[in-house]
Amino acid sequence: MAIDKPSDYFNTKLYTGNGSNNTSITGVGFQPDWVWVKARNIEYGHKLFDVVRGQGKRLASQSNAAESTVTDELTSFNSDGFTTNNNAGMNENNRPYVAWNWKAGTSFTNDASATGIGSIDSTGSVNTDAGFSIISYTGTASAATVAHGLGAVPKMIIVKTRGSSGDWSVYHSSLGNTKNLKLNTTAAQQTSASYWNNTTPTSSVFTINDEGNVNGSSVAMIAYCFAEKSGYSSMGQYTGNGNADGTFVYLGFKPAFLMRKRTDSTGRWVMEDNKRDTYNVVEKAVAANIANAEGTGGYWDVDFTAQGFKVRNNDVEINASGGSYIYMAFAENPFVTSTGVPATAR
């Protein structure tokens, strides 16, 4: 299915806190099933919520901590956004926030012994049109396969332990099934069979080995799985040229959201979007692995174009000569819709 209106499935919402309980954040355009919130002008941690774990269950991308149960942060997922209470990291009076929102929406249950798909049970919420699923499973500490519900091969998988501490683990197809990244650190890629068992995901399952961060014995796990959809999402890689007139990356759409990470060396997980910077150059960024306030120094500069993005700085975290980088991007508009309407440049 062609996605002509990407904002039906992903949308960035900016809002200013009012310091009150039961505050509805509206204007998302759909009921979000994964909500990622960051205070923009102060060092407060990232706050990640999803419908599978339920409101009041928070993870933090910059931390290896277990899931926290909170009552004053996200209190409900609503038809056009979410509700929050008076929390400094979510709704402090006059504080600016950014919330990235993804839609899954269809309940998913897989009894592995009954279906013959995967070796351990999984449940969650899936959107096959948009190539996104939120999958819950319990680890076994031995090699296993987990049904993801996408009906397409995931290109990126982000896994986190819920009931115990553990680093965030990231599979990215551009690195292959022998490599792993950690969302909560700046570390370069590591080579290990303990994570993905040197096995590429299929259209029905992803494979995990005995690493505790993806498959701890009796540990509750959550996985965010992404398949590419033409004109809507892309998970790929680029090579830096070390020049302020940097690499252009073709996506086939105008980006609404971009997250990048250097993989051959240390580097932060840089997150930019089309709402905090509405014109090029895009320079307002936060990093998923740190709690720092939004940076505007220009060292992560990028242009969002009608067909992709162009790097506009030679900082080593985004554009070292010969440096290797992976990205995850979601669309504002496809380059050309199914009815022939072209995207416009910024």
Average pLDDT over residues 196-216: 98
Round to whole Å and give the CA distance between 198 and 139: 18
pLDDT at 240: 97
User: Could you tell me the pLDDT band of residue 206, with boundaries at 50, 70 and 90?
Assistant: very high
Average pLDDT over residues 339-344: 56
Strand order of the β-sheet with 302-304 is: 248-250, 308-311, 302-304
The secondary element (H helix, E strand) that includes residue 193 is: helix 193-196
pLDDT at 75: 97
CA nearest neighbour of 91 among 29, 27, 20? 20
Q: How far is CA 17 from CA 14, 82, 102, in A?
A: 10, 13, 21
Q: How far is CA 126 from CA 155, 189, 280, in A?
A: 15, 28, 34
Whose tokens are 């296993």? That residue is 144
pLDDT at 239: 98
Which pair of structure tokens corresponds to residue 102? 């993804």
Q: How far apart are the first and last CA of the chain?
A: 26
User: Could you tell me the pLDDT band of residue 285, with boundaries at 50, 70 and 90?
Assistant: very high
Is pLDDT at 34 greater than 70 in this prediction? yes
Is pLDDT at 48 greater than 90 in this prediction? yes
Reported pTM:
0.97
Is pLDDT at 2 greater than 80 in this prediction? no
**Domain spans, the chain:** 6-102, 106-226, 233-334
Average pLDDT over residues 136-161: 98
User: Could you tell me the pLDDT band of residue 340, with boundaries at 50, 70 and 90?
Assistant: low
The secondary element (H helix, E strand) that includes residue 308 is: strand 308-311
DSSP-derived pairing of the beta strands 179-182 and 169-172: antiparallel
pLDDT at 150: 98
Average pLDDT over residues 38-42: 97
